[in-house]
Structure formats: structure tokens, C-alpha cells
Amino acid sequence: MRRLTILLIGVLWMPASVLAQGTSASLRLTLDEAVSRAQQASHRVGELRAREDGARAVRAGRQAADLPQVSVQAGYTRTNHVDEFGIAMPNKPFQAIYPDIPNNYRARLDLQWPIYTFGRTAALERLAQAELEASGKDIESARADLTLEVTRAFWAVVTAGESVRVLEESLKRMDAAVLDMQNRLKVGLIPPNDVLSMQAQRSRQQMLLIQARNQRDVVVADLARLVGAPPDTRVEPAAVLEQAPVPQATVDALVAEARQARPERQALVKRVAEAGERRQAAEANTRPVIAVGAGLDYARPNPRIFPRIADWRTSWDASINFSWLLWDGGRVKADIADAAAGARALGERLAEFDRVLEVEVRQRWLDVQSARAAIDAATDAVTAATEARRVVNERYQTGVATSTDVLDAQVALLQAELDRTQAQATSRLADARLARAVGKQGR
């Protein structure tokens, strides 16, 4: 009975423990893993993929316009009674020429095939193909934007975590310093205002630590959203800040590369071509259309058989049709003007994109240079802070420096290390922004 009770308690307790573990789940990811998960979880990319599928279906429909269409038709018609018309001859039965047949049945197998449209269907096929290719470039652009967004969030988590670590370490050192000063106050070595000043400084550090933790939770939740994890997931970045120096090309070379590789520009080029095809399709509406048709009828009565009889009969037909729209009140002319205006608008947008692209690449290139210079400066600051702490420790050992001086030197070293971490993360983000501006998939 006691074993059964223990087992029952364990079963009842297990869901709560599992739920508690689920709410505090952690996820350790590298930058590449985070980008890969985000690509799979992005609803924006999913929307563009659906639009691409729609464009693919439109292209298939345009291609099918050149193929024949076969349909089956069937119908029933009830007519009013009429007086039969016929010929009555002596010594012969009445010969009905137009009998009274109120029930009419008809079935037809019909074929229609436009064999020549003077370029209309070909232009529509090219238009659909250009839209499909532009949709693919839209997906590439969305993926590049998502990669940059994940990279920004990833390095924000890294720097926020480093800030929390520095402030926690600084707070621990301040607690030790406050305790030491309280002991000195007890023996009368320092006045009370020194302890109060240190406690005030410690309270300020506590406030900064709370703010840093809140900021870390915000950026972690943002990264979890991007990678498709629950908002309360503790995402831990597996970051490698040190990176090998990458040789940089000149700005002009990068601008030329961006004009060839940027998916947004490629999509605009495709849509400019699409606008031209739309205009050609509109102009083709002013040309004639030649089509062939054929059909097989099975009807009761069959109207093509004379005289009409209430029997099922078959008949067939074949035709070639020529149609030419001579006047439509200006509809085709308006469509042509609309397509031409759309082509000009897209051309202007492409020219504006090229102008902005050059400025963007130049700005990102300068940001990379500034970020790398900041790393060198931060590294020098860490070296100087390390030496300063060593000197202050030696002076403290000889009784020349105070514990406050030692604490300040230690905090200065921690801050210098944090500045170097932030500079390295900023450099990685600057590299990612430059790669995005050029059209590469770098991170």
C-alpha cells in the first residue's frame, strides 16, 4: 500500500515537473543554426513561396492557352406543342415534315484550338515567366533580409549577455569592497561617508544590472521569435567573436558586384521586362486571331437532319474561324498606354535603386572600416586597463593605493573587455550589412 501511494504521488507530480522544465527550456545555437531555423520558420518567406507557386500556376495556364480545348456538352430543352406540318397523299400515310417533338436532347463533343494569335499568347507566356523569376528573386531578397535581422539579433544577445556578466562581476567586487570598508569603519580607519558613497555606487550598479538583464531578456525573446522558438525559450548564442581579416575590395568594385548580385535589383529588371511583355500582349489585341474548331453532336431530334424525327442521330462539323477586332471604343489603346506607363515607372524605380545602391554600399564599407578601427582601439584599451590594474594592485600591496582604487581598476578592465566584445560584435554586424548591401549571403 505504501509503494502504491508513492507511485501515485510520483505520477501526479510528474506533469508539473515536466511543465516546469518546459517553461525554462534553453536552446544553444550558432549563428548559422539560427539563420537556418529562421529560414524555415519565417512566415514572410512562406508567403513569398506561396506567391511563387501562384506565379508558377499562372505560367502553366499561359502555356496551356496554345493547346486545344476539348469539352463535353449536354442539355435538355422542353418546347411547347406545335401543329405538325406534313404532306397528306392519297392512299399513303401522313408524312410529317415538322413533327411535334417537345422533348429535345443534345450531347456534343467540342474542340477549339487557336492556331495563330499574332504573338498574343507568346507575349503572355513570357510575361508569366518574368513574373515567376521575379517572385524567386523576391524570396532571395526576403531571405537576405531575414539573415541580416537574425545576425543583428544574435549579436545583440551576445553583447547583452556580456553586459550582464560584466555588471554581475562588478557588483560582486563592490559587495566585497563594501564589506571591507564596513570592517575598516568598525576599527576607525575610514569615515562613515566613505561607506555611504560606496553603498550608493553599489546601488547604482544594481540598477544598471537590472536594466541590463531586462534588455537581455528583450533581445533573447526577439531572437527566439525569429528562430521559431517559444517566447520564453532561453536562447544561448554559441558565438565566436574573433574572425580572420577579410580582404576588402574597392567601393567601385563592390558597387559593380552589387548591381549584378542584389536580388531586389534582379527582381526589378525582371519586372521591367514583364512590363514590356504586357505592352506587347496589349498591342497584339489589335491583330486578328485564327482558330479551328470541330464537334460531334448526338441529339434527339438532331436539327441537322431533315425531316426531324424523334430518334437519336449523330452529326459532325469542322471549321476554321478568323476574327479581327476593328473597333472597341479605345479599350486596347488604353491598355497599351497603361502598360507603357507601367514600364516607364519601373524604369525610374530601377534608376533610383541604382543611385541609392551606390550610397548604401559606400556607407556600409565605411562602417566596416570604422568597426575594425574600433576593435584595434578597444584591444589597446584592454591592454592598458590590464597594466593599470597590475600597477594598482602592486601599489595596494605596498599601502600606497586604496581599495577603492583597486575596485576602480578592476571595473575599468571589465568595461574595457566589454567594449572590445561590443566592438567585435559591431564588426561582425557591419560585415553582415556590407554583405547584404553587396548581395552576398555572408554572416
Same-domain pairing of 256 and 304: no
Residues (pLDDT < 50) of the chain are 1, 3-23
Same-domain pairing of 397 and 298: no
Same-domain pairing of 282 and 318: no
Question: Tell me, what's the pLDDT at 15?
Answer: 44
Same-domain pairing of 254 and 106: no
Same-domain pairing of 261 and 186: yes
Contacts 24+ apart (CB under 8 A), 410-416: 410/170, 410/173, 411/170, 411/173, 412/385, 412/388, 413/382, 413/385, 413/386, 413/388, 413/389, 414/166, 414/169, 414/170, 415/166, 415/385, 416/378, 416/381, 416/382, 416/384, 416/385
End position of a domain, from candidates 323, 345, 371? 323
Question: Tell me, what's the pLDDT at 422?
Answer: 87
Same-domain pairing of 394 and 310: no
Question: Tell me, what's the pLDDT at 389?
Answer: 87
End position of a domain, from candidates 323, 343, 371? 323
Same-domain pairing of 250 and 368: yes
End position of a domain, from candidates 304, 323, 342? 323
Integer Rg of the chain from CA: 40
Residue 15 lies in a domain: no
Same-domain pairing of 350 and 222: yes
Same-domain pairing of 104 and 199: no
Which residues span the domain enclosing 59? 26-67+117-288+329-438
Residue 378 and residue 420 in contact, taking contact as beta carbons nearer than 8 Å: yes
Distance (Å, whole) CA 312 – CA 106: 9
Same-domain pairing of 182 and 251: yes
Number of domains in the chain: 2
Distance (Å, whole) CA 217 – CA 221: 6
Which 3 state secondary structure label does DSSP give 424? helix
Same-domain pairing of 204 and 298: no
- Output the domain CATH number for residue 375: 1.20.1600.10
Residue 443 lies in a domain: no
Same-domain pairing of 334 and 419: yes
Residue 72 C-alpha cell reads as: 463535353
Q: What is the pLDDT of residues 321-370, one digit of tens each?
A: 999 888 888 888 898 899 899 999 999 999 999 999 999 999 999 999 99
Phi, psi of 343 (to 5 degrees): -65, -40
